[in-house]
């Protein structure tokens, strides 16, 4: 819950601190900074710049779920008497595998609170990001 509150408070601060700067392509036009995408998720390439709300949120939720499952499985195996070093290596390798799968969609940070904040940011700033004045 604290992550959601922090993410949404950060949105308000970021939205209030946005500034307009002259565009590099057309000096008569100004653009907002930060833009619609403060970081550029690779899924946007596949959607031609359109917001990818569902894909980003689903990837974050699935990543978080599998990361928690990996962690709990590692803790369980250690409690059963397995070698802690081996289980730590397994969890780290599993995390790297999950990150590799999810990084092209949402950045692979496994945080649904940030995904919801990113979706809200895209909705708040969409009309400015596509050049609608």
For residue 123, what pLDDT band results from cuts at 50, 70 and 90?
confident
* Alpha carbons 18 and 35: distance in angstroms, whole number: 9
pLDDT of 132 over the 70 cut: no
Contact 55, 119 (CB under 8 A): no
Could you tell me the sign of the dihedral formed by the alpha carbons of 28, 49, 36, 98, in that order? negative
Domain residue ranges in the chain: 2-129
Tens of pLDDT, residues 1-43: 777 787 777 777 777 777 677 777 777 777 666 665 555 556 6
Contact 129, 34 (CB under 8 A): no
* Alpha carbons 133 and 13: distance in angstroms, whole number: 22
The reported pLDDT for the residue numbered 121 is 74
Instruction: Tell me the whole-structure pTM to 2 decimals.
Output: 0.60
Please state the rounded mean pLDDT for residues 46-51: 66
* Alpha carbons 48 and 45: distance in angstroms, whole number: 5
For residue 46, what pLDDT band results from cuts at 50, 70 and 90?
low
The reported pLDDT for the residue numbered 120 is 78
């Amino acid at each position: 819950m604290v992550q959601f509150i922090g993410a949404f408070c950060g949105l308000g601060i970021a939205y209030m601190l946005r500034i307009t700067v002259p565009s590099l392509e057309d000096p008569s036009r100004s653009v907002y900074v930060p833009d619609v995408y403060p970081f550029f998720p690779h899924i946007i390439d596949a959607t031609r710049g359109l917001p990818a709300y569902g894909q980003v949120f689903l990837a974050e939720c699935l990543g978080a779920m599998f990361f928690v499952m990996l962690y709990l499985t590692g803790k369980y195996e250690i409690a059963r008497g397995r070698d802690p070093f081996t289980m730590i290596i397994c969890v780290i390798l599993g995390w790297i595998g999950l990150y590799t799968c999810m990084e092209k969609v949402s950045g692979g940070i496994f945080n649904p609170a940030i995904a919801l904040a990113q979706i809200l940011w895209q909705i708040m700033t969409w009309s400015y990001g596509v050049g609608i004045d």
